Amino acid sequence: MNERNYKENEKGLRKIRTLIDEKKTVMIASQLDKTPFSVCPMILQQMDDKGDLWFFTSKDSALYKDIEKDNRVQIIYSDERKQKYLSMFGNATHIIDGEKRDELWNHTMLKWFTGKEDPDLALLSVNLQNSYFWDSENNKPVPFFPMDQLSRESSKEGEKGYVNL
């Protein structure tokens, strides 16, 4: 498996976009300085043009409150069917924006909110700082070994690496 480091912002964002190609439930970890850290499943709504990730959240949720104290979050994205995996780190911000809410709103949110005018509804925007990915071509299993045990030559097993934004 090749290891790459995408240091150029635009190139790194393109790589992340190829891995995040649909709305998905991800795990967001907060309180990263605490053991165990807090983890919450969230539906990734969008990766915008700047590379920020967008979610709907409840103002009453533990995640919302955690971010008020420390906005650092880790997002774990997994697509077993396509063998794509990401661990992303960034800073989360609560956003109240009617236009963005209307753009992202979909009826699956009715499971958690009474509608897009629900006073408990807020947006969560995560500005990514860096990411580590595993992208396995041809749906082959992803090897999880230390890099010194892996061939650094090109392989058909895919690639893994860092994206620094």
**60-95 tens-digit pLDDT:** 999 999 999 999 999 999 988 888 899 999 999 999
pLDDT reported for residue 150: 36
Q: Which CATH number does the domain housing residue 139 bear?
A: 2.30.110.10
pLDDT reported for residue 6: 56
pLDDT reported for residue 144: 37
Mind spelling out the 3-state secondary structure of 80-144? Answer: CCCCEEEEEEEEEEEECCHHHHHHHCCHHHHHCCCCCCCCCEEEEEEEEEEEEEEECHHHCCCCC
Residues of the chain below pLDDT 50:
138-155
pLDDT reported for residue 4: 61
pLDDT reported for residue 91: 96
Would you state the structure tokens that stand for residue 110, as one six-digit string? Answer: 């009715």
Domain range holding 142? 2-164
Counting the structural domains of the chain, the total is: 1
Would you state the structure tokens that stand for residue 120, as one six-digit string? Answer: 């408990």
* SS3 (DSSP) at 51: coil
